[in-house]
Amino acid sequence: MAEPVIQLDGLTVRLGKREILHELRGTLRGGTIGLLGPNGAGKSTLIQTLLGFIPPTSGSAAIFGRDIRKDARPLRSMIGYMPENDSFIADMTAVAFVRLMGELSGLPSEAALERAHEVLFYVGLGEARYRPLGTYSLGMKQLAKLAQAIVHGPRLVILDEPTNGLDPPARVRMIRLIKEMRDTGKMHLVVCSHLLRDVEETCEEVLILKAGRIVHYSNLEEERKANKRFVELETLGDDAGFAEALTGRGCECMAVGPGRLKIVVPVEFEMREIYVLAAERDLQLRRLNYKRDTLEDIFLKAMETK
């Protein structure tokens, strides 16, 4: 079995009298891990804690088997971080900035300079690497932040809102780079984003937080391979007991509004049974269509958790 990328063991964080993270537990092994949650869910606090900026109040966490408190120094050379907010020195050129960040991550000066040139060309900023960062567009700044996160060849890269504010072409370029890094197999990624589409396109696992607690974990790759059948129904009439009857036939049902159901249909289930059960209750089926469960469905269901 693959080594865990991130191991959470009762991780709790309090800031002042407020508990931000509550006893997080879980094992994440995916090549690319999506971190989702509404504003105030604790995503940024979890990232800051894993990076060693905020100490846990209780419990522990490990990255590649190393405790984030006991092994903080060696972990810094193994992790790259692309922050959500800009943290540039405006008058510094991109190559000087990325070189500096490489040195801070443990690279010798000459090696850091060589790697700075390489990664700036890799992200598409090679021709602009001698320009001051203050003259960069928003999309170019995002690419520069990505370059400094990977300059030292980390095993884990944490990307906080990597497509934030990007126009469609710049977003496509960023998503392509994330996929390329994922597909090399040389590094693991954590993608924290409020854009479900970004996570669905790039991630193999997803962890959803709400009010400082884990409310859902999914291995998206396994769910995709499972090839489950999803059906969306819209009915007219008294549907009392209809969902229960479907559940009794092995289906999983979720009400998404008046007269609307989303159903996970088992392999052995015959679709004609839906019509039979509806006819028995004199229930009209106004709409029936197949659809695969999207990350949006998973997220909205998780948000219903108390």
Residues 196 and 161 in one domain: yes
Residues 119 and 133 in one domain: yes
- Residue 28: CATH number of its domain: 3.40.50.300
Residues 48 and 117 in one domain: yes
- The tally of domains found in the chain comes to 2
Tell me the residue range of the domain where 234 lies.
Answer: 227-303
Last residue within a domain, chosen from 223, 258, 276: 223
Does residue 190 carry a pLDDT above 60?
yes
- CA quadruple 197, 164, 170, 87: dihedral sign: negative
Residue 52, Ramachandran bin (φ over 0: left; ψ between -120 and 50: alpha; else beta): left
Q: Does residue 1 lie in a domain region?
A: no
- Residue 257: CATH number of its domain: 3.30.70
The answer to whether residues 95 and 116 touch, using CB atoms and an 8 Å cutoff, is: yes
Please, what's the largest Cα pairwise distance for the chain? 78
Last residue within a domain, chosen from 181, 201, 223: 223
Q: What is the pTM of this model?
A: 0.78
Q: Does residue 209 lie in a domain region?
A: yes
Residues 177 and 45 in one domain: yes
Q: Does residue 136 lie in a domain region?
A: yes
Estimate the crossing angle of helix 94-104 against helix 138-150, to 10 degrees: 30
Burial of 28 from C-beta contacts in 10 A (0-12 / 13-18 / 19+): buried
pLDDT digits (tens, 9 = 90+) for 49-86: 999 999 999 999 999 999 999 998 889 889 999 999 88
Burial of 282 from C-beta contacts in 10 A (0-12 / 13-18 / 19+): exposed
Burial of 106 from C-beta contacts in 10 A (0-12 / 13-18 / 19+): middle
Q: Does residue 119 lie in a domain region?
A: yes
pLDDT digits (tens, 9 = 90+) for 235-269: 888 888 898 999 998 888 888 888 888 888 887 78
- CA quadruple 249, 228, 8, 15: dihedral sign: negative
Distance spanning both ends of the chain, measured CA to CA: 33
Last residue within a domain, chosen from 169, 195, 223: 223
Q: Provide the pLDDT for residue 292.
A: 58
Strands 205-210 and 32-36: parallel
pLDDT digits (tens, 9 = 90+) for 166-176: 999 999 999 99
pLDDT digits (tens, 9 = 90+) for 122-175: 999 999 999 999 999 999 999 999 999 999 999 999 999 999 889 999 999 999
